[in-house]
Amino acid sequence: MTRKNGFQHYKFEVPEIIFGRGLLRQVGSCARRLGATKVFLVSDQGLFEAGWVDLVMKSLQEYGLSFVYFDQITSNPKDYEIESGFREYVASGADVIVGLGGGSVMDAAKGIAILSANGGRIRDYRGSDKIHRPIPPLVLCPTTCGTGSDVSQFAVINDTEQLCKFTIMSRCIAPDISLTDPETLLTLPERHVCSTAIDALAHAVEAYFSVAASSLTDVNALQALRLLADNYARAVREHRIEDLEALSRASLHAGMAFSNALLGIGHALAHPIGGLYNANHGDVNAVLLPEVVKFDYPVVTEKIAGLLNALGCELKGNEEFAEEMAVEVIENLLDAGNSPRGLRTLGVREEDLNNLAKLALQDVCVLTSPRQTDEEDLLGIMKRSF
């Protein structure tokens, strides 16, 4: 059942990364450097109300750039929202796209960029390497601590006909610049701090276990785990900028890991579940992660000591308890932010499980699972997480 690691050759690719408090004031400079004359700015209502959109608009103006603002994006971004954004983009005459937001806004910005250069419907680009023409210059500014979309080669879009999220994977859709200003976390509601940080946790664990993992991705996955173990509980409790900044860094490291090592069955399951029930992505990952770790455990035993060490535990000769320790330390993290337990609490219906397993098996994330997986396995994981 172990999968032979066929990835003795590996690649590692990340965009230019800029990180620091107050850096949203530099978005204009970044867009300018990419050749912008007019910027298409994608964000959302919450960030507008918190004042971050205004900060970015001022920065664009300061650098002599005009802009068009687009915020018609909802969470788990829908195909028709992307397509409407694309029409706005074309009408605007903009030449650089800036996305300011969480995973939904950033994936929408990527989707708009794909259509701008390649035409058609967004679902035409489902899967791996379907994008043949380079997209417009793209600056992504994450305002949550989990998605990793700002460094990744992925976009996840909701197909509203099939009621399923699908993944677009292409080196062409990594942005030119990833700019993180951790101060944006100060206005992020606590439940989103928690759900996105747990998404980063799932990214780090699945990337670390992936058959495509390498030395270059492992150091980033483990650093993400270390930062979460050291800072997550305190960040949730005290909401201080120092701790929140550490979560931003964890998200960045986890993003660099999973964009290059890819993910596993946790995310393969989270995509159809998120699509069918419009469920919060981080919450779905939180519910599934313990069972995913148990399922993968037999084929990743050699890596467990590294995972436990990063999470602040030492095996000290207790190898026979490694699985329990790994699950326990992860569950403790989930509890520190009151993550939901049980797919049922997210609205998942038992009668949908068979179909969800079928859809998950087609997800691109299955390909890098460390353990061979079939529909029965996926069904079992959902039932045990129900």
Tell me which of 59, 153, 223, 280 binds a copy of itself, using CB under 8 A. 223
Q: Per CB under 8 A, does 375 bind a copy of itself? A: no
Q: Per CB under 8 A, does 261 bind a copy of itself? A: no
Tell me which of 56, 188, 202, 227 binds a copy of itself, using CB under 8 A. 227
CB atoms < 10 A from the CB of 50, how many? 15
Q: Per CB under 8 A, does 129 bind a copy of itself? A: no
Judge residue 29's burial from the number of C-beta atoms within 10 Å of its C-beta, 0-12 exposed, 13-18 middle, 19 or more buried. middle
- Per the listing, tokens 């706005």 go with 88
Q: Nearest to residue 39, comparing CAs of 76, 94, 109, 116?
A: 94
How many angstroms separate the CA atoms of 191 and 172, rounded?
Answer: 32
Tell me which of 1, 189, 215, 317 binds a copy of itself, using CB under 8 A. 215
Q: Report the DSSP beta bridge partners of residue 98.
A: 41, 139
Q: Per CB under 8 A, does 307 bind a copy of itself? A: no
CB nearer to a copy of itself: pick between 19 and 69: 19
Residue 162 contacts by C-beta under 8 Å, 6 or more apart in sequence? 275
Q: Which DSSP state fits 183?
A: G
What single letter denotes the amino acid at residue 377? D
What single letter denotes the amino acid at residue 29? S
How many residues bind a copy of itself, per CB under 8 A?
Answer: 26
Q: Per CB under 8 A, does 210 bind a copy of itself? A: no
CB nearer to a copy of itself: pick between 46 and 182: 182
Residues 310-321 as b/e (b if ≥16 CB within 10 A, e otherwise) read bbebeeeeeeee
Q: Per CB under 8 A, does 59 bind a copy of itself? A: no
Touching a copy of itself, residues 340-359 (CB under 8 A): none
Q: Per CB under 8 A, does 9 bind a copy of itself? A: yes
Q: Per CB under 8 A, does 8 bind a copy of itself? A: yes
Binding site for a copy of itself (CB under 8 A): 8-14, 16-23, 214-216, 219-220, 222-223, 227, 249, 252-253
